[in-house]
């Protein structure tokens, strides 16, 4: 015989989870959305007008790799010393922001804590900017957006690949198809942080393989470009497998000497688990 308390005990977890979902949804509907960086009201996609204007725009940068070059005028189309010394296999960069406050914090919250609301304004804005860029310059339109690959184990731990989510967001606003399957990681690399460009290149050797057909014109999509070593390695691989033109598209580019801030950042609570830094 099934006892009533047994039925109740199996229903309790469901009821608790269900009411939590209903409460969260009601909370979202009743309370105004706050700006993720200043907690102010009147936001669009999670960012208020003032904070949107204050984002560190990467408009003075190397045309090829997106490295911020503060000493040039924004109308020039310069190339940085590294790209002049050794031309990488990607030809253009589209990287709207510098990896500085608050963009570094927003990406960090998203990537390491799964708090998607911090990345939402960036993803939306990047998609909109990509659509404008392609309107102005249709020849740059890639046939395919290729998300930078993440090792399966790391992706399982994190629950998502941020590069794939960025590619999907751009795809929604431009209509360009995207994939996270074309490039696979063959093994886990040592963490790239703390390594210089040369060490990173050694660490990346033989790490990736192509599985499928590579179109002629592609854009590699990632969250942050730090030294350009990963992007360079992937671009070389794509060129070897038939790509004629490779661009790198990312949310942010680390300035020379590193731009990450240690400024405090407000906590508006998250929809994901608190996690350790693994990237």
Per CB under 5 A, residues contacting Zn ion are 35, 38, 40, 48, 51, 62, 64-65, 67, 80, 83
Residue 48 or 176: the one with the smaller Cβ distance to Zn ion is 48
Residue 54 or 143: the one with the smaller Cβ distance to Zn ion is 54
**How far apart (Å, rounded) are the C-alpha atoms in residues 117 and 1?**
48
DSSP annotation of 64 reads T
Residue 69 or 207: the one with the smaller Cβ distance to Zn ion is 69
Residue 161 or 227: the one with the smaller Cβ distance to Zn ion is 227
Q: Output the smallest distance, CB 228 to Zn ion, in A.
A: 7
Q: Output the smallest distance, CB 180 to Zn ion, in A.
A: 26
Q: Output the smallest distance, CB 168 to Zn ion, in A.
A: 26
Residue 182 or 229: the one with the smaller Cβ distance to Zn ion is 229
Q: Output the smallest distance, CB 29 to Zn ion, in A.
A: 21
DSSP annotation of 212 reads S
Q: Output the smallest distance, CB 238 to Zn ion, in A.
A: 18
Q: Output the smallest distance, CB 97 to Zn ion, in A.
A: 16
HSE, side-chain direction, 13 A CA sphere, residue 133: 18
As given in the structure block, the two tokens for residue 202 are: 């050694």
Residue 102 or 114: the one with the smaller Cβ distance to Zn ion is 102
């Amino acid at each position: 015989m099934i006892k009533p308390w047994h039925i109740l005990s199996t229903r309790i977890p469901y009821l608790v989870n269900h009411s939590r979902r209903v409460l969260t949804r009601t909370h979202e509907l009743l309370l105004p959305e706050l700006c993720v960086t200043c907690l102010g009201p009147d936001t669009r996609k999670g960012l208020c007008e003032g904070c949107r204007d204050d984002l560190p725009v990467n408009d003075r940068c190397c045309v090829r790799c997106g490295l911020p070059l503060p000493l040039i005028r924004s109308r020039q189309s310069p190339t940085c010393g590294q790209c002049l010394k050794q031309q990488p296999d990607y030809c253009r960069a589209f990287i709207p922001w510098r990896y500085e406050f608050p963009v570094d914090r927003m990406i960090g919250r998203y990537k390491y804590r799964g708090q998607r609301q911090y990345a939402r304004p960036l993803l939306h804005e990047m998609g909109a900017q990509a659509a404008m860029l392609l309107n102005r310059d249709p020849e740059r339109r890639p046939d395919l957006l290729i998300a930078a690959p993440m090792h399966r184990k790391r992706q399982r731990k994190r629950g998502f690949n941020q590069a794939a989510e960025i590619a999907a967001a751009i795809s929604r606003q431009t209509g360009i198809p995207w994939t996270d399957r074309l490039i696979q990681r063959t093994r886990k690399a040592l963490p790239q942080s703390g390594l210089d460009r040369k060490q990173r290149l050694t660490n990346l050797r033989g790490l990736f393989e192509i599985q499928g057909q590579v179109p002629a014109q592609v854009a590699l999509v990632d969250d942050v470009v730090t030294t350009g070593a990963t992007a360079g390695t992937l671009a070389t691989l794509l060129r070897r497998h038939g790509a004629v033109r490779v661009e790198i598209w990312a949310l942010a580019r680390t300035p020379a000497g590193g731009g990450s801030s240690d400024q405090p950042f407000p906590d508006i609570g998250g929809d994901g688990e608190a996690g350790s830094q693994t990237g």
